Copies of this chain bind each other. A is one copy, B any other.
Amino acid sequence: MSVITIERKVLEKNDEIASKNRELFQHNGLFVLNMVSSPGSGKTSIVERTLEYIKGKLSIGVIEGDVQTDFDAQRVAKFDVPVVQIITNGGCHLDAKLVHDALGNMSLKGIQLLIIENVGNLVCPANYDLGEHIKVVVASTTEGDDKPLKYPAMFRNASVLLINKIDLLPYINCTIEVLKNNAFRINPALNIFETSCTTKQGIKEWCDWLEKQVKNNPLSVADH
């Protein structure tokens, strides 16, 4: 058994820039999500369904993080919202500096909700604060019900768990109660929603909750 630790200096530097991002978000009355998950859990589909449902109610911007390609940004741009793509070229997570640079390419005026879709990786993004208000972890039922115990840092640092691809439960070996119990063992304060981007189950509940968080944001644009 061996411990690998990210150098403290790297994380300290990251936290400094994350604080600057946080100030910028507060100054502009932005509520910010950092969406994290394994590759292929359906993060982009969740963003699409969320935009579809919530776009008339809130003004939204999106930052897409990918190792390679701008496929996700193209998908999101169809919803006619401001999108900036970060390509990490092999980098395994977004960091506060990458997000800070991306913010320079987006007008924050009037935006109430900023969704940052991180690189698909259930390990590395857990340690990098981007300045967000909350981390949202998406776990698809097809990944199995043991993932919170096997990748605890991500589930511990998240405020919301979206259990996605709930429509596939009849065909796979995943017990939703076991998955939830495992998630609560790691983080009893998790807000859990069960979603399907195919049937749209749970999208309303998730979006209504999200809208409430944005509206409760003490510096939201409505208050200016």
- A122-160 contacts to B, CB under 8 A, are 122-124, 127, 140, 142-144, 146-147, 149-153
CB pair B88–A4 under 8 Å, yes or no, is yes
What is the total number of copies of this protein in its complex? 2
CB pair A165–B142 under 8 Å, yes or no, is yes
Residue A66 lies at the interface, judged by CB distance under 8 Å to chain B: yes
Q: Give bound CA distance, A40 to B42, whole Å.
A: 13
Other-chain residue from B68, B127, B165, B171 in contact with A149 (beta carbon distance below 8 A):
B68
How far apart are A222's CB and chain B's nearest CB, in angstroms?
34
* Across-interface contacts of A142 in B (CB, < 8 A): 40, 140, 142, 165, 168
CB pair A90–B123 under 8 Å, yes or no, is yes
For chain A, the count of residues having a C-beta within 8 Å of the partner chain is 49
Known: A2-B86, A40-B147. Is A68-B165 also a contact (CB below 8 A)?
no
- A64-80 contacts to B, CB under 8 A, are 66-69, 71
Residue A38 lies at the interface, judged by CB distance under 8 Å to chain B: yes
* Across-interface contacts of A67 in B (CB, < 8 A): 123, 150-153
Q: Give bound CA distance, A124 to B152, whole Å.
A: 18
Residue A119 lies at the interface, judged by CB distance under 8 Å to chain B: yes
Which residue on chain B has the smallest CB distance to residue A92? B123
How far apart are A47's CB and chain B's nearest CB, in angstroms?
14
10 closest A-B pairs by CB: A40-B143, A4-B91, A92-B123, A142-B142, A38-B39, A3-B89, A38-B38, A39-B122, A1-B87, A92-B124
Q: Which residues of A contact B (CB under 8 A)?
A: 1-5, 38-41, 66-69, 71, 86-92, 97-98, 101, 119-124, 127, 140, 142-144, 146-147, 149-153, 165, 167-168, 171-173, 198
Can you spell out 12 A-B residue pairs with CB atoms less than 8 angstroms apart? A2-B87, A2-B89, A3-B88, A3-B91, A38-B38, A38-B120, A39-B143, A40-B143, A41-B143, A67-B152, A68-B152, A90-B153
